[in-house]
Structure 1
Amino acid sequence: MSILTNSAQVSESAKNFEFLGDIIDIVPFGSGHINDTFCVTTTNTAGISYLLQRINHHIFADVAGLMYNIQLVENHLKRKLPADKQALADQYVLSIIPTKEEKLFFQDTDGDYWRMFVLIRNTKSYDIVETPQQAREGGKAFGQFQLNLADLDATKIVEVLPNFHNIDFRLSNLNKAIEKNSEGRLAAVEDIIQFIRARESRMKTILKQAKDGLLPLRITHNDTKFNNVLLDAQDQVQCVIDLDTVMPGHVAYDFGDAIRTIINPAAEDETDLSKVKLNIPLFEAYTAGYLGEAKGFLTAAELDSLLEGVFLLPFMQGVRFLTDYLEGDHYFKVAYSDHNLVRTKTQFKLVSELEAAENELQAIIEKYVK
């Protein structure tokens, strides 16, 4: 949900940051839907380019907290880099360029918030995982990310999106939408609501274990789709990006969300539910990459929770789509009247497929835990 931006506003905002050289060019960059992003080329002789972003403060209202989180994580990850990468740390860790007033962001006269990062060069990302090798690198990337942050106190991180992965909160919102039925759509989804009710108890497992003190609070990424991993020319992990949603959480959330986005070859709004299937080799490859990095620091309870995360994340996404459908499609962009309903059905079909393969998926996890 980006906002219209004029070129003068972009150029003037860029000038407030402490980059090398003089600006040569500023062009739109990437395909993100939340923030407006631009590549800034300057006259510096080091070959460094920059990413300028206007932060969508309608979603991230606490901009100071957001940037504090990113700086805290950036500094911690840089300290974990091996000696041979320290000199080029800004090519392995997303790095903030401060303003000329030594602040983490700039607010313009229109009230918009801007930030700048070093552009990580000679890398690529993929929207869709196509091979087990790519899936393995994705798992490795987020396993390393969690491992390197395991000794950073999660309570220091600001919860910039409260209740983001709180299933109680999501179900409460759904129940309010059901009770209100503002769009008169309830009758069409009674069977879906029954599907949800039959699974509510299990889907609260992680939350209950956390409340009982069985799962430690970790720093998690919370948006572990594959295009948030930058790979080098050899398709090896170089950097995890998009740290906006880094918050305190539980490792199963990151694992489950990653699996949700790679295991199903069908589109999120696929109308032919027969196309919603499981790519087990990709699941195994991601699991191998992830646990190869993470199993050494995870507790037994966390390892046991991973499969619960695999079920929870598509279930929770389906609940969110259904809630928006019942409320009149105010949050997620829709192309037609039943778009959110189609998305809902796709997520719950994925849940059903995962349930049918539970024993196989659990066996794969156990294989790489050993």
Structure 2
Amino acid sequence: MKTIENLFEITSKFKCHVEISTLKSYGTGHINDTYRLKNLVTEDYDYLLQKINHQVFKNVPKLIENMCRVIAHLKKQMLSTGEGNPDKEVMTLVATKEGPYFYQDSNGNYWRMCHFLKDTKTYDVVETAQQAYEGGKAFGKFQAMLVDLSPDLMYEVIPDFHHIGKRLEQLAQARTEDPKGRVALVQEELETIDASSGSMSFFQQDEQLLTLPRRVIHYDTKFNNVLLNLEDRAQCVIDLDTVMAGYVAYDFGDAIRTIINRTTEDDKELSNITLNIPLFNAYTKGYMEEVRQFINEWELRSLIKGVLLLPYMQAVRFLTDYINGDRYYKIESEHHNLQRTRAQLKLLKELFAHAESMEDRIFKEARKHQLINS
């Protein structure tokens, strides 16, 4: 952790009144470093200070520009409809004293600050159908409120983020270079990934490129990116680093990846990785209630493809990082990324086995809202 003196210098660049002695590490994110600080004005918002990983996010000013555009749009939507509280239901970034919403320190590190929303909570593992339902509503509403924001305005902060062809190319390069001599340890995992590579190209097929609309989406819909209030009702979608243009099925698939698994995404005991279908049903119900106002039939039929793609892609990414020497994700042990890879592949196996019944549930919910006839 940075020294208190260094962090005091950083916080002093923002328009805030912080009690620096209260600073402590916060959250379980894989990429950025996050700290919570109390506000000296006790009746006002506390703050979250984040060091943005500029090895992952190469153009931080553009990332912040994306975030500001999305935040402004969401707040404008809430104000125009009179539904909701923009200050509590949308992230609020804190400007620096010089104007921008980020600060670059003398070491080249980028920092940002936002309001901390009190009386909220997150879950790394979904515990109830009510929570899953609220997650579906939260991410569905997020997509619905951004449907009239042009995707062409969004900067691509991570090029080809969900392009599985590019991810497989990165894995192939890692296999060839093998910088840490780990390829020999992961032959079984590589064979499993190779066996499914052909079926995972759905979103890069010409037909889909012509028919599926690009929309502004979140791109990181882990359940812990939804803040729930103390009654377990969805309040705010957070972690907007990756908001970009993409397909709604990407967000749906990644949400299901984290919601349906009965255990954590890195459980060492693979037998613990089974599907909690009631949570899938609840999430799908909440999601359909919100997206029914805009989603089309092509998108509906693509949702199950997203459910299968995202754990596969995550396995590819974890394994690539493992072979490369753990450059991207934070790890807690030497073989943590391999452990994550194996867990994602086990989850994928379970999802393949239940894909037909899950697609039936998607269509059942869609028919309730007259979104599909068959």
Same fold by TM-score, threshold 0.5 exceeded?
Answer: yes
Aligned equivalents of 1:181 and 1:111: distance in 2?
30
Which consecutive unaligned segments of at least 5 residues does structure 1 have?
A: none
Aligned equivalents of 1:152 and 1:50: distance in 2?
28
Aligned equivalents of 1:61 and 1:186: distance in 2?
28
Q: Which residue of the other structure, out of 35, 49, 52, is the alignment partner of 2:49?
A: 52
Q: Secondary structure at the match of 2:161?
A: coil
Indicate the larger mover: 334-343 or 47-56: 334-343
Call closer, same or farther: CA 1:43–1:308 in 2, change over 3 Å. same
Aligned equivalents of 1:116 and 1:189: distance in 2?
40
Aligned position for 2:73: 76
Q: Does structure 1 retain, via aligned residues, the 8 Å contact 2:260–2:277?
A: yes
Q: Does structure 2 retain, via aligned residues, the 8 Å contact 1:185–1:326?
A: yes
Q: Does structure 2 retain, via aligned residues, the 8 Å contact 1:157–1:248?
A: yes
Q: Does structure 2 retain, via aligned residues, the 8 Å contact 1:295–1:303?
A: no
The answer to whether residue 235 in structure 2 is matched with residue 238 in structure 1 is yes
Fraction of identical pairs, as percent? 46
CA distances 1:151-174 after superposition (whole Å, capped 9, x unpaired): 001111111111211101111111
Task: Give, as a single letter, the amino acid of the residue that structure 2 aligns with 1:353.
Answer: E
Q: Which residue of the other structure, out of 298, 303, 307, is the alignment partner of 1:301?
A: 298
The answer to whether residue 125 in structure 2 is matched with residue 114 in structure 1 is no
Aligned equivalents of 1:273 and 1:38: distance in 2?
33
Indicate the larger mover: 189-198 or 288-297: 189-198
Aligned position for 1:129: 126
Shift of 1:106: 1.8
Q: Which residue of the other structure, out of 309, 312, 324, is the alignment partner of 1:312?
A: 309
Q: Which residue of the other structure, out of 11, 20, 26, is the alignment partner of 1:14?
A: 11
Shift of 1:53: 2.2
Aligned equivalents of 1:340 and 1:109: distance in 2?
32
Indicate the larger mover: 270-279 or 167-176: 270-279
Shift of 1:336: 4.8
Aligned equivalents of 1:338 and 1:40: distance in 2?
33
Aligned equivalents of 2:62 and 2:174: distance in 1?
30
Aligned position for 1:170: 167
Give the 5 Å matches for 1:80-159: 80-81=77-78, 84=82, 88-159=85-156
Aligned position for 1:30: 26
Call closer, same or farther: CA 1:184–1:102 in 2, change over 3 Å. closer
CA distances 1:270-289 after superposition (whole Å, capped 9, x unpaired): 33322221110011011111
Q: How many residues align?
A: 365
Shift of 1:108: 2.5
Aligned equivalents of 2:58 and 2:168: distance in 1?
23
Q: Secondary structure at the match of 2:121?
A: coil
CA distances 1:323-355 after superposition (whole Å, capped 9, x unpaired): 233334443344555443332222112111111
Aligned equivalents of 1:183 and 1:222: distance in 2?
30
Aligned position for 2:255: 258
Q: Secondary structure at the match of 2:265?
A: coil
Q: Secondary structure at the match of 1:80?
A: helix
Q: Does structure 2 retain, via aligned residues, the 8 Å contact 1:269–1:339?
A: yes
Call closer, same or farther: CA 1:48–1:326 in 2, change over 3 Å. closer
The answer to whether residue 185 in structure 2 is matched with residue 196 in structure 1 is no
Q: Secondary structure at the match of 2:241?
A: coil
Aligned position for 2:318: 321
Q: Which residue of the other structure, out of 357, 361, 366, is the alignment partner of 1:364?
A: 361
Aligned equivalents of 1:313 and 1:28: distance in 2?
32
CA distances 1:32-74 after superposition (whole Å, capped 9, x unpaired): 3433333333343742322222222222221101110111001
Aligned equivalents of 2:7 and 2:207: distance in 1?
44
Q: Does structure 2 retain, via aligned residues, the 8 Å contact 1:230–1:239?
A: yes
